[in-house]
Amino acid sequence: MPWVRRGRHRYYVRRRKVKGAFVRQPYGRGPEAQLAALAAQRQREREAEWARRRRERGRWEADTRALQRLIAVSDLLVRAALVAAGFRQHQRGEWRRKHGRSA
């Protein structure tokens, strides 16, 4: 909530919810009001930064999903080519030629 002007003076007022209704909480115009306004400004900046990071993470995950699908398909194609060429995967590690197969 912003500073409110009443006559020549400015007062800092916050709105908060009490039992479902919004109530104005006055802080006055002294040092306490300035600290409350500064704290509110910092909170708004943090929330804006969090929102920016959430948007960035969403874009990153969307780009990463496409890359992960490409990697999965290419792995499947490589596996199929190696199996067709007579290879097997030794204990989920390196690929080896099956015994008894000629080159």
- Split into its structural domains, the chain has a count of 1
- Does residue 16 form part of some domain? yes
CA distance 65 to 6: 55
Residue-wise pLDDT tens digits, 56-75: 999 999 889 989 999 999 99
- Does residue 62 form part of some domain? yes
- Does residue 44 form part of some domain? yes
Range of the domain at 63: 3-71
Could you tell me which residue, 72 or 103, shows the higher pLDDT? 72
- Does residue 84 form part of some domain? no
State the DSSP string of 32-73.
HHHHHHHHHHHHHHHHHHHHHHHHHHHHHHHHHHHHHHHHHH
With cut-offs at 50, 70 and 90, classify the pLDDT of residue 39: confident
Could you tell me which residue, 80 or 30, shows the higher pLDDT? 80
CA distance 87 to 79: 9
Nearest to 13 by CA among 34, 101, 78, 3: 3
Q: Is the overall model pTM greater than 0.75, yes or no?
A: no
Query: Mean pLDDT score of the chain, rounded to an integer?
Result: 86
Average pLDDT (1-10) is 76
